[in-house]
Amino acid sequence: MMAFQDTIKFIQDKFQSKDFIPLHAPVFSGNERKYVMDTLDSTFVSSVGAYVDKSEQMIAEISQTKKAVAVVNGTSGLHIALQLAGVTRGDEVITQALTFVATANAIHYTGSNPVFLDVDYDTMGLSPRAVSDFLEEFGEIRESGTYNKQTGKRIAACMPMHTFGFPVHLDELLQVCNSWNIPLVEDAAESLGSYYKGKHTGSFGQLGVFSFNGNKIVTSGGGGMIVTNNENLGQKGKHLTTTAKVPHPYEFVHDEVGYNFRMPNLNAALICGQLEQLDSFLANKRKLANEYADFFFESQGIIFRKEIENTKSNYWLMAVELEDLEARNAFLKETNEAKTMTRPIWQLMYRLPMYKDCFRDSQKNAENLEERIVNIPSSVRV
Protein backbone atom coordinates (compact mmCIF):
# COMPACT_ATOMS: atom_id res chain seq x y z
CA MET A 1 0.00 0.00 0.00
CA MET A 2 1.28 3.45 -0.90
CA ALA A 3 2.11 5.74 2.00
CA PHE A 4 0.00 8.50 0.48
CA GLN A 5 -2.84 6.41 -0.93
CA ASP A 6 -5.47 8.19 1.20
CA THR A 7 -4.31 11.57 -0.08
CA ILE A 8 -4.38 10.43 -3.69
CA LYS A 9 -7.87 8.98 -3.29
CA PHE A 10 -9.09 12.19 -1.62
CA ILE A 11 -7.81 14.31 -4.52
CA GLN A 12 -9.26 11.92 -7.11
CA ASP A 13 -12.63 12.10 -5.37
CA LYS A 14 -12.56 15.91 -5.20
CA PHE A 15 -11.81 16.18 -8.94
CA GLN A 16 -14.01 13.17 -9.78
CA SER A 17 -11.30 11.56 -11.86
CA LYS A 18 -8.84 8.71 -11.82
CA ASP A 19 -7.30 9.95 -15.06
CA PHE A 20 -4.60 12.60 -15.10
CA ILE A 21 -5.37 15.46 -12.69
CA PRO A 22 -3.39 18.62 -13.61
CA LEU A 23 -2.01 21.09 -11.14
CA HIS A 24 -4.06 24.06 -12.35
CA ALA A 25 -6.09 23.87 -15.54
CA PRO A 26 -7.90 26.86 -17.06
CA VAL A 27 -11.69 26.98 -17.12
CA PHE A 28 -13.53 28.75 -19.96
CA SER A 29 -17.17 28.84 -18.94
CA GLY A 30 -18.19 32.43 -19.57
CA ASN A 31 -18.06 34.93 -22.43
CA GLU A 32 -14.52 34.05 -23.57
CA ARG A 33 -15.55 32.49 -26.88
CA LYS A 34 -18.02 35.30 -27.64
CA TYR A 35 -15.44 38.03 -26.99
CA VAL A 36 -12.68 36.30 -28.95
CA MET A 37 -15.02 35.84 -31.93
CA ASP A 38 -15.89 39.50 -31.64
CA THR A 39 -12.23 40.43 -32.15
CA LEU A 40 -12.05 38.16 -35.20
CA ASP A 41 -15.16 39.72 -36.68
CA SER A 42 -13.83 43.21 -36.03
CA THR A 43 -10.37 42.32 -37.48
CA PHE A 44 -8.79 44.15 -34.51
CA VAL A 45 -6.79 41.20 -33.24
CA SER A 46 -3.46 42.90 -32.60
CA SER A 47 -2.42 45.52 -30.05
CA VAL A 48 -5.16 48.05 -30.74
CA GLY A 49 -8.71 47.25 -29.76
CA ALA A 50 -11.53 47.83 -27.34
CA TYR A 51 -10.75 44.76 -25.23
CA VAL A 52 -7.28 46.02 -24.39
CA ASP A 53 -8.81 49.18 -22.93
CA LYS A 54 -11.57 47.21 -21.20
CA SER A 55 -9.14 44.75 -19.61
CA GLU A 56 -7.05 47.61 -18.23
CA GLN A 57 -10.14 49.23 -16.75
CA MET A 58 -11.28 45.95 -15.19
CA ILE A 59 -7.91 45.24 -13.57
CA ALA A 60 -7.60 48.79 -12.24
CA GLU A 61 -10.99 48.41 -10.61
CA ILE A 62 -10.27 44.94 -9.18
CA SER A 63 -6.85 45.92 -7.85
CA GLN A 64 -8.06 49.27 -6.49
CA THR A 65 -5.45 51.19 -8.48
CA LYS A 66 -5.65 54.25 -10.70
CA LYS A 67 -3.94 52.91 -13.81
CA ALA A 68 -3.35 49.51 -15.38
CA VAL A 69 -1.21 48.72 -18.43
CA ALA A 70 -1.75 45.49 -20.35
CA VAL A 71 1.44 43.70 -21.41
CA VAL A 72 2.36 40.52 -23.22
CA ASN A 73 3.32 38.61 -20.05
CA GLY A 74 4.06 39.11 -16.38
CA THR A 75 7.83 38.98 -16.83
CA SER A 76 7.83 41.92 -19.25
CA GLY A 77 5.58 43.74 -16.79
CA LEU A 78 8.11 43.26 -13.98
CA HIS A 79 10.91 44.47 -16.25
CA ILE A 80 9.10 47.69 -17.10
CA ALA A 81 7.85 48.22 -13.52
CA LEU A 82 11.43 48.11 -12.23
CA GLN A 83 12.50 50.55 -14.93
CA LEU A 84 9.63 52.88 -14.04
CA ALA A 85 10.68 52.71 -10.37
CA GLY A 86 14.09 54.04 -11.39
CA VAL A 87 16.18 50.88 -11.51
CA THR A 88 19.13 51.27 -13.87
CA ARG A 89 22.17 49.30 -14.97
CA GLY A 90 24.56 48.50 -12.15
CA ASP A 91 21.99 48.94 -9.36
CA GLU A 92 20.87 46.32 -6.86
CA VAL A 93 17.32 45.12 -6.22
CA ILE A 94 16.32 43.34 -3.00
CA THR A 95 14.17 40.27 -3.55
CA GLN A 96 13.71 36.68 -2.42
CA ALA A 97 15.46 33.54 -3.62
CA LEU A 98 12.35 31.43 -3.04
CA THR A 99 10.52 32.54 -6.17
CA PHE A 100 9.86 31.68 -9.80
CA VAL A 101 12.80 32.55 -12.04
CA ALA A 102 10.92 35.42 -13.74
CA THR A 103 11.43 37.58 -10.63
CA ALA A 104 15.21 37.35 -10.86
CA ASN A 105 15.23 37.48 -14.67
CA ALA A 106 13.29 40.74 -14.72
CA ILE A 107 15.88 42.27 -12.41
CA HIS A 108 18.66 41.01 -14.68
CA TYR A 109 16.97 42.52 -17.76
CA THR A 110 17.40 46.00 -16.27
CA GLY A 111 21.16 45.40 -15.94
CA SER A 112 20.91 45.37 -12.14
CA ASN A 113 21.79 42.65 -9.65
CA PRO A 114 19.39 40.74 -7.36
CA VAL A 115 20.11 40.64 -3.63
CA PHE A 116 18.50 37.47 -2.29
CA LEU A 117 17.14 37.77 1.25
CA ASP A 118 15.25 35.25 3.33
CA VAL A 119 11.49 34.72 3.44
CA ASP A 120 9.15 34.49 6.40
CA TYR A 121 8.08 30.97 7.25
CA ASP A 122 4.39 31.90 7.56
CA THR A 123 4.01 33.72 4.22
CA MET A 124 6.81 32.08 2.18
CA GLY A 125 7.45 35.64 0.94
CA LEU A 126 10.17 38.24 1.51
CA SER A 127 10.82 38.85 5.21
CA PRO A 128 10.73 42.47 6.45
CA ARG A 129 13.10 41.44 9.26
CA ALA A 130 15.60 40.03 6.77
CA VAL A 131 15.42 43.25 4.72
CA SER A 132 15.85 45.41 7.83
CA ASP A 133 18.82 43.34 9.05
CA PHE A 134 20.50 43.56 5.65
CA LEU A 135 20.06 47.32 5.43
CA GLU A 136 21.21 47.91 9.00
CA GLU A 137 24.42 46.06 8.20
CA PHE A 138 25.09 47.17 4.63
CA GLY A 139 22.84 50.16 3.89
CA GLU A 140 23.94 53.77 3.74
CA ILE A 141 21.61 56.66 2.85
CA ARG A 142 23.24 59.24 0.59
CA GLU A 143 21.87 62.27 -1.23
CA SER A 144 21.34 60.22 -4.41
CA GLY A 145 19.74 57.20 -2.73
CA THR A 146 20.48 54.23 -0.52
CA TYR A 147 23.73 52.39 -1.23
CA ASN A 148 25.28 49.08 -0.32
CA LYS A 149 28.43 50.00 1.62
CA GLN A 150 30.08 46.72 0.70
CA THR A 151 29.56 46.86 -3.07
CA GLY A 152 29.15 50.60 -3.59
CA LYS A 153 26.03 49.95 -5.67
CA ARG A 154 22.74 51.81 -5.30
CA ILE A 155 19.89 49.75 -3.82
CA ALA A 156 17.26 50.94 -6.26
CA ALA A 157 14.18 48.87 -5.36
CA CYS A 158 12.72 46.09 -3.25
CA MET A 159 10.59 43.48 -5.03
CA PRO A 160 8.74 40.92 -2.88
CA MET A 161 6.76 38.10 -4.48
CA HIS A 162 3.42 37.00 -3.03
CA THR A 163 4.10 33.27 -3.13
CA PHE A 164 1.17 31.16 -4.41
CA GLY A 165 -1.13 34.12 -3.63
CA PHE A 166 -0.18 34.48 0.05
CA PRO A 167 0.52 38.18 0.74
CA VAL A 168 3.80 39.10 2.42
CA HIS A 169 3.81 41.21 5.60
CA LEU A 170 3.26 44.40 3.62
CA ASP A 171 2.92 46.96 6.43
CA GLU A 172 6.23 45.98 7.96
CA LEU A 173 7.98 45.74 4.60
CA LEU A 174 6.69 49.15 3.52
CA GLN A 175 7.87 50.65 6.80
CA VAL A 176 11.39 49.34 6.24
CA CYS A 177 11.48 50.45 2.60
CA ASN A 178 10.14 53.91 3.38
CA SER A 179 12.65 54.45 6.17
CA TRP A 180 15.47 53.68 3.72
CA ASN A 181 13.89 55.55 0.75
CA ILE A 182 13.70 52.38 -1.36
CA PRO A 183 10.75 51.99 -3.80
CA LEU A 184 8.60 48.89 -3.38
CA VAL A 185 7.60 47.01 -6.56
CA GLU A 186 5.23 44.09 -5.95
CA ASP A 187 5.61 40.89 -7.92
CA ALA A 188 1.91 40.12 -7.60
CA ALA A 189 1.98 37.69 -10.53
CA GLU A 190 0.38 34.91 -8.47
CA SER A 191 -1.92 36.98 -6.28
CA LEU A 192 -4.82 38.34 -8.33
CA GLY A 193 -7.73 38.21 -5.88
CA SER A 194 -5.53 38.28 -2.75
CA TYR A 195 -5.87 40.95 -0.06
CA TYR A 196 -3.81 42.30 2.82
CA LYS A 197 -5.89 44.03 5.50
CA GLY A 198 -8.70 44.49 3.01
CA LYS A 199 -6.54 46.05 0.31
CA HIS A 200 -5.61 44.25 -2.88
CA THR A 201 -2.05 43.08 -3.44
CA GLY A 202 -0.21 45.07 -6.09
CA SER A 203 -1.65 48.34 -4.81
CA PHE A 204 0.78 48.89 -1.92
CA GLY A 205 4.02 49.60 -3.77
CA GLN A 206 4.82 52.20 -6.38
CA LEU A 207 3.87 49.53 -8.91
CA GLY A 208 2.57 45.98 -8.99
CA VAL A 209 2.44 43.32 -11.68
CA PHE A 210 -0.03 40.49 -12.33
CA SER A 211 0.33 37.49 -14.63
CA PHE A 212 -2.30 35.84 -16.83
CA ASN A 213 -0.22 32.84 -17.88
CA GLY A 214 -2.09 29.68 -18.83
CA ASN A 215 -1.88 28.24 -15.31
CA LYS A 216 -2.96 31.36 -13.43
CA ILE A 217 -6.31 31.87 -11.70
CA VAL A 218 -7.50 33.73 -14.81
CA THR A 219 -5.68 33.48 -18.10
CA SER A 220 -5.36 35.15 -21.46
CA GLY A 221 -3.04 32.39 -22.68
CA GLY A 222 -0.15 34.67 -21.85
CA GLY A 223 -0.36 38.25 -20.73
CA GLY A 224 0.16 40.43 -17.71
CA MET A 225 -0.75 43.79 -16.23
CA ILE A 226 1.21 46.58 -14.58
CA VAL A 227 -0.79 48.53 -11.98
CA THR A 228 -0.03 51.74 -10.12
CA ASN A 229 -1.66 54.57 -8.21
CA ASN A 230 0.75 57.02 -9.85
CA GLU A 231 -0.95 58.06 -13.06
CA ASN A 232 2.25 59.58 -14.47
CA LEU A 233 4.08 56.27 -14.01
CA GLY A 234 1.13 54.50 -15.59
CA GLN A 235 1.18 56.74 -18.66
CA LYS A 236 4.94 56.30 -18.92
CA GLY A 237 4.50 52.54 -18.68
CA LYS A 238 1.96 52.54 -21.49
CA HIS A 239 4.33 54.59 -23.63
CA LEU A 240 7.35 52.36 -23.01
CA THR A 241 5.46 49.13 -23.64
CA THR A 242 4.03 50.37 -26.95
CA THR A 243 7.44 51.01 -28.58
CA ALA A 244 7.57 54.56 -27.18
CA LYS A 245 5.58 55.76 -30.18
CA VAL A 246 4.40 59.36 -30.03
CA PRO A 247 0.70 59.62 -31.04
CA HIS A 248 0.31 60.91 -34.60
CA PRO A 249 -2.30 60.25 -37.31
CA TYR A 250 0.28 58.70 -39.66
CA GLU A 251 3.91 59.54 -38.86
CA PHE A 252 6.21 57.09 -37.05
CA VAL A 253 7.86 59.04 -34.25
CA HIS A 254 9.53 57.26 -31.32
CA ASP A 255 11.09 59.50 -28.69
CA GLU A 256 13.10 56.92 -26.68
CA VAL A 257 14.02 53.24 -26.63
CA GLY A 258 10.75 51.42 -26.07
CA TYR A 259 9.55 47.83 -25.99
CA ASN A 260 7.04 45.89 -28.04
CA PHE A 261 5.36 44.44 -24.94
CA ARG A 262 1.77 45.09 -26.05
CA MET A 263 -1.01 42.64 -25.22
CA PRO A 264 -2.95 41.75 -28.40
CA ASN A 265 -6.66 42.53 -28.45
CA LEU A 266 -7.29 38.81 -29.05
CA ASN A 267 -5.72 37.94 -25.68
CA ALA A 268 -7.39 40.90 -24.00
CA ALA A 269 -10.79 39.61 -25.12
CA LEU A 270 -10.02 36.29 -23.46
CA ILE A 271 -8.97 37.91 -20.18
CA CYS A 272 -12.10 40.08 -20.11
CA GLY A 273 -14.24 36.96 -20.26
CA GLN A 274 -12.13 35.38 -17.51
CA LEU A 275 -12.17 38.43 -15.23
CA GLU A 276 -15.98 38.48 -15.28
CA GLN A 277 -15.78 35.10 -13.47
CA LEU A 278 -13.03 35.96 -11.00
CA ASP A 279 -15.31 36.11 -7.96
CA SER A 280 -16.83 32.70 -8.70
CA PHE A 281 -13.37 31.21 -9.36
CA LEU A 282 -12.12 32.56 -6.03
CA ALA A 283 -15.13 31.15 -4.16
CA ASN A 284 -14.70 27.79 -5.86
CA LYS A 285 -11.02 27.59 -4.95
CA ARG A 286 -11.64 28.71 -1.36
CA LYS A 287 -14.12 25.85 -0.97
CA LEU A 288 -11.48 23.41 -2.17
CA ALA A 289 -8.89 24.95 0.18
CA ASN A 290 -11.23 24.49 3.13
CA GLU A 291 -11.80 20.86 2.17
CA TYR A 292 -8.06 20.27 1.91
CA ALA A 293 -7.50 21.97 5.28
CA ASP A 294 -10.06 19.70 6.94
CA PHE A 295 -8.57 16.59 5.36
CA PHE A 296 -4.90 17.31 6.07
CA PHE A 297 -5.67 18.39 9.62
CA GLU A 298 -6.07 14.71 10.44
CA SER A 299 -3.12 13.53 8.35
CA GLN A 300 0.15 12.68 10.03
CA GLY A 301 3.17 14.50 8.71
CA ILE A 302 1.41 16.77 6.20
CA ILE A 303 0.47 20.40 6.86
CA PHE A 304 -1.87 22.30 4.53
CA ARG A 305 -0.66 25.87 4.03
CA LYS A 306 -3.34 28.41 5.00
CA GLU A 307 -3.66 32.19 4.84
CA ILE A 308 -2.52 34.10 7.90
CA GLU A 309 -4.36 36.67 9.99
CA ASN A 310 -5.28 39.94 8.25
CA THR A 311 -4.85 38.40 4.80
CA LYS A 312 -7.09 36.78 2.24
CA SER A 313 -5.38 34.47 -0.21
CA ASN A 314 -6.65 33.60 -3.67
CA TYR A 315 -5.29 30.07 -3.05
CA TRP A 316 -3.90 30.06 -6.57
CA LEU A 317 -1.66 27.05 -6.08
CA MET A 318 -2.45 25.17 -2.90
CA ALA A 319 0.50 23.82 -0.97
CA VAL A 320 1.29 21.21 1.63
CA GLU A 321 4.36 20.94 3.82
CA LEU A 322 5.96 17.53 4.34
CA GLU A 323 8.14 16.48 7.28
CA ASP A 324 11.45 16.50 5.41
CA LEU A 325 13.10 16.13 1.99
CA GLU A 326 12.74 12.36 1.98
CA ALA A 327 9.01 12.56 2.66
CA ARG A 328 8.63 15.32 0.05
CA ASN A 329 10.32 13.21 -2.64
CA ALA A 330 8.22 10.16 -1.76
CA PHE A 331 5.03 12.25 -1.95
CA LEU A 332 6.02 13.67 -5.35
CA LYS A 333 6.87 10.24 -6.74
CA GLU A 334 3.74 8.45 -5.56
CA THR A 335 1.25 11.15 -6.51
CA ASN A 336 2.69 11.70 -9.98
CA GLU A 337 2.86 7.95 -10.63
CA ALA A 338 -0.85 7.90 -9.76
CA LYS A 339 -1.48 10.56 -12.45
CA THR A 340 -2.18 13.16 -9.77
CA MET A 341 0.08 16.06 -10.60
CA THR A 342 2.09 17.57 -7.77
CA ARG A 343 5.13 19.82 -7.99
CA PRO A 344 7.92 20.89 -5.66
CA ILE A 345 8.46 24.53 -4.87
CA TRP A 346 11.11 26.19 -7.02
CA GLN A 347 14.84 25.72 -6.60
CA LEU A 348 16.26 28.70 -4.78
CA MET A 349 17.55 31.24 -7.27
CA TYR A 350 21.17 31.13 -6.08
CA ARG A 351 21.28 27.43 -6.98
CA LEU A 352 20.86 28.37 -10.65
CA PRO A 353 24.11 28.92 -12.57
CA MET A 354 23.34 32.50 -13.65
CA TYR A 355 22.62 33.68 -10.09
CA LYS A 356 25.07 31.58 -8.07
CA ASP A 357 27.36 34.54 -7.34
CA CYS A 358 24.64 36.95 -6.18
CA PHE A 359 24.57 38.13 -2.57
CA ARG A 360 22.40 36.08 -0.22
CA ASP A 361 21.85 35.94 3.52
CA SER A 362 21.48 32.77 5.59
CA GLN A 363 18.26 31.69 3.81
CA LYS A 364 17.27 29.60 6.83
CA ASN A 365 13.52 29.67 6.16
CA ALA A 366 13.88 29.49 2.38
CA GLU A 367 16.04 26.37 2.52
CA ASN A 368 13.69 24.75 5.02
CA LEU A 369 10.68 25.43 2.81
CA GLU A 370 12.49 24.35 -0.37
CA GLU A 371 12.87 20.87 1.11
CA ARG A 372 9.26 20.52 2.29
CA ILE A 373 6.73 22.44 0.17
CA VAL A 374 4.73 20.71 -2.56
CA ASN A 375 1.89 22.10 -4.68
CA ILE A 376 -1.21 19.93 -5.12
CA PRO A 377 -4.06 20.09 -7.67
CA SER A 378 -5.74 23.48 -7.30
CA SER A 379 -7.96 23.95 -10.36
CA VAL A 380 -11.42 25.47 -10.29
CA ARG A 381 -13.79 22.48 -10.29
CA VAL A 382 -16.61 22.52 -12.81
The predicted pLDDT at position 1 comes to: 39
Say if CB 363 and CB 116 are below 8 A apart. Answer: yes
What's the pLDDT at 48? 87
Other beta carbons less than 10 A from residue 136's beta carbon = 10
Q: What is residue 336's predicted lDDT score, i.e. its pLDDT?
A: 97
pLDDT at 2: 58
Confidence at residue 299, expressed as pLDDT on a 0 to 100 scale: 80
Which parts of 181-333 are beta strand (E)? 185-187, 195-196, 199-200, 207-211, 224-228, 302-304, 311-312, 318-322
CA dist 116 and 97 (Å) reads 5
Residue-level pLDDT, tens digit, the chain, 382 residues: 358 999 999 999 999 998 999 999 999 999 999 999 999 999 999 888 999 999 999 999 999 999 999 999 999 999 999 999 999 999 999 999 999 999 999 999 999 999 999 999 999 999 999 999 999 999 999 999 999 999 999 999 999 999 999 999 999 999 999 999 999 999 999 999 999 999 999 999 999 999 999 999 999 999 999 999 999 999 999 999 999 999 999 999 999 999 999 999 999 999 999 999 999 999 999 999 999 999 998 787 899 999 999 999 999 999 999 999 999 999 999 999 999 999 999 999 999 999 999 999 999 999 999 999 999 999 999 8
| Domains defined along the chain, listed by start | 5-28+278-376 (3.90.1150.10), 32-275 (3.40.640.10)
* Contact (Cβ atoms closer than 8 angstroms) between residue 120 and residue 133: no
Rg of the chain in Å (alpha carbons): 21
Alpha carbon of residue 292 to chain centroid: 23
Write down the pLDDT at residue 23: 98
Distance, in Å, from the CA atom of 139 to the CA atom of 154, rounded to the nearest integer, reads 9
For 134, half-sphere exposure in the C-beta direction (CA atoms, 13 angstrom radius) is 31
pLDDT at residue 71 in the model: 98
- pTM of the entire structure? 0.97
